[in-house]
Every structure is written in C-alpha cells, then in structure tokens.
Structure 1
C-alpha cells in the first residue's frame, strides 16, 4: 500500500476466529468389575460432558463420561453391568493463531467431532479387569477481538437506494412452482 493510499484505509476492531485446532485421541481405560469377567458382552459410553478453557498454547477440553460394560462371569453362567465414570483432560494445540488478537477478549469453545466411542473391550490377562479402548476427537476455536484493515472509497458510499440490480436469469421458469410444496412432500 502506498503512503498516499493511507487516507483510504481504516482499521476496524472486530470479533473474529483468531485460533483453531483439532485433536484425535485414542485412550485406554481399565475397569475392574465386582466379579472376575469371563467374557465381554458389550461396552458403551454415555453421559459425555465437557467444557473448554484456554491453556498455554492451546485449549484444554475437560470432561467426563460413564463407561458401561456388560459382562459375563462364573464361566458365562451369570451377567452384570459394571459402571465407572472417567475424567479426562485433552490439550488441543492451536494450529493457527492470529498474533494481533487481544488476549483479554478471548472466548474459547470446543465441539466433539467424534463423541467418545468404545472401539475395543478385552478381559485383562489377569482376568480381573477389562481394558477399554476409546476414541474421541475435538475441534476447538478461539474468538477474540482483532484489527482488520479495509480500503475505503475516496468518493464515500454510493446511494444504493436509487439503484436497481439485475442479477440475470429468467424468473419465468419459477412461475409453475407450487408455493405449498415442502421438502417433506418431495
């Protein structure tokens, strides 16, 4: 930008996405049921809750979920469900950060792009516990105030109220459409 163009630019302070990141995790939890398991009949995760907080160079996702394991015991003669609540902290690094953002205005959020899911459950070698392998993924964002530079017209704003715009195209092709038709009826 030339020095003479400086009068035609403005710095605007606005809120914008100033940081983003994503993290996929595979973790293993060990659950010890009240009875020594013979086999695993099912394993699932419920009640997932989490929040996001700014931490160092990233965003921490702090959460909990319940692991439920349906298993057999006494040589497959009886069944039970073992339940355990697990806490976790995932530090998601920010792969992009706007260096000009105002740190005092940071707001962070996280979205679970893959809810915690049990991908494998096996009885331990000792036969007293169950190893649960869980996958989860988060996308995080940091919104903050930042400066953007915009070019301004030296002639000011055009009076757009007096203009008619032609976006092209023939609207007669829509004359036969039924206005009461909804997507559900298609």
Structure 2
C-alpha cells in the first residue's frame, strides 16, 4: 500500500490482539488435625494471581488462594477451622488471535470473572481428608502493537473554529419561582 495512494494511511497503534476465556473446576485435598464429624462451612479467600504470555499457545495464569474449612469433631462436640493455601497454574488458550502484530512485547490482562468458589466440601477416605471442589473462571486479553490501514477523506475534516453559541443569559422567567425573602424566613425559624 505505502504512500503511493494518498487516500489511505497506515497507523501503528496498540490493540487487543488476543482474547481467551477459561472456566475450570478442580478438587483440593485438605488434612485436618482432628478427624472431622461434619463440615460446617467452607470459604475461599485471599485470591492472588498474575498472568504471562506462554508462547503462541496462550496465557498462563499463576495464582493461589486460601481455603478455610470450619468443621466439627469429637462426635460433633467441638469445632475447629483448618486453613490451607492452594497454588495453581491455568493455561488459557486464546480463542481469538490476530497474528499481524509488530513486535514481541505484549501486555497481558487477566480478570477473574468468577473468583474461586467452593461448590462442595465433603469428608472422604474414612474421615481423614476433606475434599473441596472449587470453580473459577478467567478472561484474558493480550495487547500488542499492530498496524491499521485507514481511508482518508479527500475533502478533509470539517472543523469549526468558532465556539458553539451557548445561550447562558438568564431571563426574567428564570427568576419567577425564586422567593426573595428566603433567607429572612430561615433566620426567623431559628
């Protein structure tokens, strides 16, 4: 294309050149100090993660979260909380890719559109382990430098040099509902 045809221009800009989304479920195993009788509650907190481009395959999300399980033990006569940090790696493949990028420097944006959430928490293996089923979902965007080709209007842009005429003057009608004794009435009430 080049500059032979003056009705087009090439613009170099940053744009989304890749996008992906991944929903995942996994089971985390937690050991408790005491043999659990029943599960009373399960919370997942302190989710932290970061993402980096992984070749042409996609984006790797590396993170961790804390699982807190409240459980009863000693034949449901006592309660306790077990807390464990779980680390994970998720490979998110890019479903939308534009291979027309200019260099290999990318910005990767990851957003947890579904924070890690407990689906099910149960006692297994003769009461010695707690299984926690966790779901999470990520949305990924890869931003890179790319080239756009745009058509130039031969007539140019119509730009008005004059400021718009804003009618900011007040008329008598604007003051008809104003009570001139408003301040005096306020002082009388106090």
On whether the aligned pair clears a TM of 0.5, the verdict is: yes
Q: Secondary structure at the match of 1:79?
A: strand
Shift of 1:161: 2.6
Q: Secondary structure at the match of 2:5?
A: helix
1:158 paired residue number: 158
1:12 paired residue number: 11
Per-residue Cα deviation, 1:99-121 (whole angstroms, up to 9, x for no partner):
10124231001000000000100
5+ residue gaps, structure 1, are: 165-174, 176-186
Residue 44 in structure 1 maps to residue 43 in structure 2: yes
Q: Aligned-pair RMSD on alpha carbons?
A: 2.0
Shift of 1:153: 1.8
2:141 paired residue number: 141
Per-residue Cα deviation, 1:130-186 (whole angstroms, up to 9, x for no partner):
00000000000001110000001223333333597xxxxxxxxxx9xxxxxxxxxxx
Query: Residues 1-186 of structure 1: matches in 2 within 5 Å?
Result: 6-56=5-55, 57-161=57-161
5+ residue gaps, structure 2, are: 165-173, 175-190
Q: Secondary structure at the match of 2:66?
A: strand
Ranges of 4+ aligned residues in structure 1 off by more than 6 Å? none
Q: Secondary structure at the match of 2:128?
A: coil
With normalisation by structure 1, the TM-score equals 0.82
For residues 107 and 79 of structure 1, what CA distance do their matches in structure 2 show?
Answer: 47
With normalisation by structure 2, the TM-score equals 0.80
